[in-house]
Chain A
Amino acid sequence: MEKTQNNKAWFLVLPVLVIVAFSAVIPLMTVVNYSVNDTFGENEFFWNGLGWFEDMITSDRMHDALGRQVLFSAIILAIEVPLGIFIALNMPKKGFWASFCLVLMALPLLIPFNVVGTIWQIFGRVDIGLLGHGLAAIGIDYNYTSDALDAWITIIVMDVWHWTSLVALLCYAGLQSIPQAYYQAAKIDQASRWSVFRFIELPKMAGVLLIAVLLRFMDSFMIYTEPFVVTGGGPGNSTTFLSIDLVKMAVGQFDLGPAAAFSLMYFLVILLVSWVFYTVMTTIDKAETK
């Protein structure tokens, strides 16, 4: 039978296209527009070409924020991925406690970001916070509002508390799909615990782990709400990550041009790194299949 060619079906995509245009394309184009113009207010704009981009690329302030951001994401991934795997490996496989753990693990994921920030902001306070006061009581000099290291530790612990569950739950799903026979075969082969992990569990988790790493990278690289609520980017600029700096620049100082140029580059960096992640991991996958 001849297949009839009918491209009218493409019209069905039109509503989605319109929605996406309003939700993403048009706002993004507005940002592009800002990034190549300068203004002195009163809604008057002057063409500035790539000037803002040049400024931003050479700006020390941006370099510092980017450095902090990369460090933050690296630490987050280095802690949350192994910890998530470890938790998933040790969660009960079935029965009441499995459900119990699942609910428990899902709880932090259900809390709104600004509430998470508020919880930790109060939790860490030296005067009324349980953590801050407790640490002070046992003689540890802890104050996230004045000490940069304390502020970093607080924010990292908060993020680990908030998001490790995601990695753990994804890995748990991956582990649950491994048939019992694999473990029995490994026992018969006298495989060590490490071998079981390395040759059975890790390969079966690879797919979900890729998603977990991608999600955690993107989210941590764009983190805004929680550190904003807890430290507001301080003390000084020590926890001013890219998005916090961006908001300061765009809304605080109302430097729309530089902020727009900067946010475009920020977007491209995330896109690029995610793409690299994805490509590298899927090529490894393909190479192993051969």
Chain B
Amino acid sequence: MAKITLSKLAHSYAPNPTAEPDYALKEMDHVWQDGGAYALLGSSGCGKTTLLNIISGIVRPSHGRVLFDDVDVTNQETAARNIAQVFQFPVVYDTMTVRENLSFPLRNRGMDAAYIAGRVNQIAQMIGMEQVLNRKARGLTADAKQKISLGRGMVREDVNAILFDEPLTVIDPHMKWELRTQLKQLHRQFGHTMIYVTHDQTEALTFADKVVVMYDGRVVQMGTPEELFETPAHTFVGYFIGSPGMNLLEASVIGSRAHLQGAEIALDAAYEPITGRTQIGIRPEYCTLTDGAGLPVTLRRVEDVGRHRIIRADLFGQPINIIAPEGMAIGADMTRVTFARGKVNVYADDWRIAGKAA
């Protein structure tokens, strides 16, 4: 178990990177706490797998350093880093039994046989595979195999971190839920540092204490699920987290007022004059459709998703989504929208800016 520090880390697959687009990972400085459960979230190609491979030692970063508990491991081989990794699809040794699979990392490290036997039984119990310990791994189902991969990662007590590279991709939906719960439980029980790569926000938000959102080779925000929801640091976070994502409206901000084509919205904070593209962001959950006060909207359609309804509308020609609770009557006169106080974020060139309390 270890604290992971990424110091001025950047990576480029090109031999002589010059401009910023050459970098698959832009320079970053982060400290990942010992025993934390982190999720790396982002769309395909945003660099999250590259970052994971740098931490596991499969890829050597072109710039910067990786430290485990203040020890520089940048140039260490994967084996020397003492980490465990669970891959996108199950990696098991087909010709070995489940027991041999689980004990393999320990046997390779020359551990004592009695210790191995005990430890393997303990792990098998945790992942619920005691019954099949003596079976060949080959004939097992995908989720059982993935559990073995997981077990092989957990079997070493001293691992610095366990890395997961979209481990539930090949698992049936109902098993996904079970495995995720199990992971969470194992994390609570053993307190390993866990890093979980995924492009599924549900997986990320349910698994992790801290979610690291990546976009275009950059960590755009690192925060608790709540922070990502309430105060997205980047428009991508607002758009990527939540269903539907945050509404972003072109506006101009002067002091503590936002101007939207003549209409005015009161903000909770005062802002310095902003240069660049200015947008205000508000979650659909904090928009309310009314028949009284507020800004005029044109309703396009209403989608019933079960627990609530999503209203797709236009506000001064810009699309906006509004969430209406189940059972609320949407009449023809409901053509105005109000924003909850304190829930409006201001973005300049896609980055959130904090205002001073007004």
Contacts and interface: CB of A to CB of B under 8 A. Distances in A.
Given A191-B104, A195-B108, A288-B95, A184 B58 contact: yes
B156 to A, nearest CB: 9
A124 B84 CA distance: 57
A179 B109 CA distance: 24
Nearest to B165: A181
B79 A188 contact: yes
A185 B56 CA distance: 11
Interface of B: 56, 58, 77-79, 83-85, 87-89, 91, 93-96, 104-105, 108-109, 135-136, 138-139, 149, 152
A187 B138 contact: no
Interface of A: 179, 181-182, 184-185, 187-192, 195, 199-200, 203, 288-290
B108 A191 contact: yes
A203 B89 contact: no
Contacts of A187: 58, 77-79
A185 B91 CA distance: 7
Contact of B108 (A179, A190, A288, A290): A190
A182 B149 CA distance: 11
Contacts of A188: 56, 78-79, 83-85, 105
Contacts of A192: 108
Given A190-B79, A288-B136, A290-B139, A185 B85 contact: yes
B88 A181 contact: yes
A181 B136 CA distance: 20
Contacts, number: 58
Nearest to A182: B91
Contacts of B95: 199, 203, 288
Given A184-B58, A199-B96, A290-B136, A189 B105 contact: yes
A41 B77 CA distance: 79
A289 B109 CA distance: 28
A290 B140 CA distance: 9
27 contacts: A179-B91, A181-B87, A182-B91, A184-B56, A184-B58, A184-B78, A184-B87, A185-B85, A185-B91, A187-B58, A187-B77, A187-B79, A188-B79, A189-B152, A190-B105, A190-B108, A190-B109, A191-B104, A191-B108, A199-B95, A199-B96, A203-B93, A288-B94, A288-B136, A289-B139, A290-B135, A290-B136
A15 B56 CA distance: 61
A280 to B, nearest CB: 17
Given A188-B83, A203-B95, A290-B136, 6 more contacts: A184-B85, A185-B85, A187-B58, A188-B79, A191-B108, A288-B95
A288 B152 contact: no
Nearest to B135: A290
Nearest to B136: A288
Q: Give the 5 A-B CB pairs with smallest separation, nearest first.
A: A181-B87, A185-B91, A189-B105, A190-B108, A199-B93
